[in-house]
Amino acid sequence: MLLDADDCQLVLVDYQERLMPAIHEREAVLLNAVRLARMAEVLEVPAFGTEQNPERLGPNHPDLRALCQRTLAKMHFSGCADGLSEWLRPPARPQAQRGNARSLPKHLQKPAAEEAPGRNTIVVAGCESHVCLLQTALDLLEDEFDVWVVTDACGSRTERNRDAAFDRLAGAGAELVTTEMVAFEWLRTADHPAFKAVQGLIK
């Protein structure tokens, strides 16, 4: 199974200015997160950010924040506990009532308008891998999203914690990928009109 850009949303978890200096391999982690956000912009994949207790840990990196459509301020470690799932899967709009449906013969009743299909695949990356990223991704799985974790855009203060998070997420059903895997699966072909733009971001 490959990623389909038309079914994806991107979630970038807690790349905050007071947290990042403590993250192992922070420069590469942040660079890949920004690449993901720029690729999402080029390919029209909705991108969202989260910030853990931003009054204390500060905002996300400004380049990243500018590329997210919305950024969720949260106090729970899982963004889902503070409403992220509702952003990713808005509730269906109730159908307008047109009087008593039983008052019309069936052949005269208008069929209910169908909702546009949602984007059920969440590409997610963030810090710290074993805390906010892990809990957000596990809750997204619980909420019946397909979750793909971009490992080279995730970080923790130690490698051991980061790798333990990946082991647990894989066991729970998340797919583990890299930034380049996401890029080329979103594109699918060198004939894609955005191929050169995306290729330029990962070189």
Q: Is residue 144 part of a domain?
A: yes
Tens-place pLDDT, residues 83-94: 999 999 866 555
Q: Is residue 40 part of a domain?
A: yes
* pLDDT tier, 118 (very low <50, low <70, confident <90, very high otherwise): confident
For residue 75, the SS3 value is coil
Q: Is residue 180 part of a domain?
A: yes
DSSP string, 99-155: S-GGGS-GGGSPPPPPPPPP--EEEEEEBSIIIIIHHHHHHHHHTT-EEEEEGGG-B
Tokens 């695949």 found at? 121
Q: Is residue 101 part of a domain?
A: no
pLDDT at 98: 47
Q: Is residue 35 part of a domain?
A: yes
Q: How many domains does the chain have?
A: 1
Contact present, 124 and 136 (Cβ < 8 Å): yes
Kindly report the CATH number assigned to the domain that includes residue 59: 3.40.50.850
Tens-place pLDDT, residues 44-59: 999 999 999 999 999 9
Q: Is residue 170 part of a domain?
A: yes
- Boundaries of domain holding 141: 5-88+117-202
Q: Is the pLDDT of residue 116 over 60?
A: no
**166 HSE (CA, 13 A, CB side):** 18
Q: Is residue 153 part of a domain?
A: yes
Q: How far is residue 94 CA from its own chain's centroid?
A: 26
pLDDT at 202: 86
* pLDDT tier, 203 (very low <50, low <70, confident <90, very high otherwise): confident
177 vs 15: CA distance, rounded Å: 19
Q: Is residue 99 part of a domain?
A: no
Contact present, 22 and 59 (Cβ < 8 Å): no
Contact present, 129 and 42 (Cβ < 8 Å): no
198 vs 125: CA distance, rounded Å: 18
